[in-house]
Amino acid sequence: MRITLVHGDITEQPVDAVVNAANSSLMGGGGVDGAIHRRGGPAILEECRTLRSSRYGEGLPVGQAVATTAGDLPARWVIHTVGPVHSRAEDRSHLLASCYREALRVADELGAATVALPAVSAGVYGWPSDDAARVAVTTVRAARTRVAEARFVLFTADVYAAFERALLAAGPSDEEIAARLAAQPGERWRELFALADALTPADLEVTWRGGQEAGPGVTQAPYPVYGDAVERILGLLGELGVVVVFGWPDWVRGNPLWPGGRGLEDAPVADAARLATAIVRGERFGDGTIGHALETGTLQAVLRRLRRWHDEERPR
């Protein structure tokens, strides 16, 4: 899926589906909602009324999405979703993420290939632009969807700039990372997997040095020492382009291997690269990240996913 950014009016986008930042009543409002109903005409409101008199008698819940006709818009459908109102006291990011995930799920049900999306909740609902952009981009980037183009349409220059920053922080796409891995020489991959196969429990040992007096009142900070095999594996992960440049501190908050995460086995190989990056880069922010990854089996899970990609998915 391609993610594109447009600085403009979402009602002017010739796409299959336009996502509306609606409210639960589905009866229209201001902002995107007002523009879509104004430009799309009464047919949209008619179908919203039907939805309210049937499936959504209580209104469309926050984080959910439902489709109607696009009326006179240059699109086939409008996918209405209700963003959460921003709160300082409560983290509602999961509800904002749900808007995008559900909108793409509905788009898949419709067979929409191109979808225009606004910065949900970033207007009247007061969500700070940078965080609204981060949630939007990371959620859409991680979504398993058949949509070919997710086009964020940003009305104001400041929100457009926030999405540009978020896209940069999200780093290369799954496809770009996989292409970079595929371009690496086969013998380097074979060396990496041979090292991984030969790892013994002793190789996974971490010894801590330092911690001794280094002068009056000065103690050298303790630091981890990893075995040669692990050091060579880490070096190869760098040389093979597995360590990528992206905003890993944000990404790793949704670590696929954490409880409730979707795991790595069925994730794109790019997620194995992103996780390897968080492990390697994390070591610079706090000694022992690599040791912890060895202890929890996270680094081994990354190596397993890279090998499955190499053996089964890498273009021949």
Residues lying near ligand APR in the complex (CB under 6 A) are found at 9-11, 21-23, 29-35, 83, 118-125, 153, 155-156, 159
Residue closer to ligand APR by CB (options 153, 192) is 153
Provide CB contacts within 8 A for 88, sequence distance 6+.
none
Catalytic residue flag (residue 91) = no
DSSP state of 220: P
Q: CB 4 → ligand APR: shortest distance, Å?
A: 14
Q: CB 45 → ligand APR: shortest distance, Å?
A: 12
Q: How many CB atoms lie within 10 A of CB 260?
A: 7
**What is the rounded distance in angstroms from the CA atom of residue 290 to the CA atom of residue 253?**
17
Widest CA span of the chain, in angstroms?
Answer: 80
DSSP state of 222: P
Q: Quick one: which of 13, 12, 35 has its CA closest to 124?
A: 35
Element (H, E) at 109: helix 93-110
Residue closer to ligand APR by CB (options 9, 295) is 9
**What is the rounded distance in angstroms from the CA atom of residue 219 to the CA atom of residue 234?**
29
**What is the rounded distance in angstroms from the CA atom of residue 256 to the CA atom of residue 275?**
8
Residue closer to ligand APR by CB (options 11, 138) is 11
**What is the rounded distance in angstroms from the CA atom of residue 132 to the CA atom of residue 32?**
15
Question: β-strands 65-69, 77-82: how paired?
Answer: antiparallel
Residue closer to ligand APR by CB (options 20, 138) is 20
Q: CB 187 → ligand APR: shortest distance, Å?
A: 50
Provide CB contacts within 8 A for 292, sequence distance 6+.
298
Local structure of 306: helix, strand or coil = helix
Q: CB 11 → ligand APR: shortest distance, Å?
A: 5
Q: CB 112 → ligand APR: shortest distance, Å?
A: 18
Q: CB 85 → ligand APR: shortest distance, Å?
A: 8
Spatial contact of 49 and 108, defined as CB atoms under 8 Å apart? no
Q: Quick one: which of 53, 127, 134 has its CA closest to 83?
A: 127
Residue closer to ligand APR by CB (options 5, 182) is 5
Provide CB contacts within 8 A for 265, sequence distance 6+.
304, 305, 308
Tokens of 238: 């760098």
Q: CB 23 → ligand APR: shortest distance, Å?
A: 3
Residue from 9, 16, 33, 266 carrying the catalytic annotation: 33
**What is the rounded distance in angstroms from the CA atom of residue 49 to the CA atom of residue 235?**
60
Residues labelled as active-site residues? 33
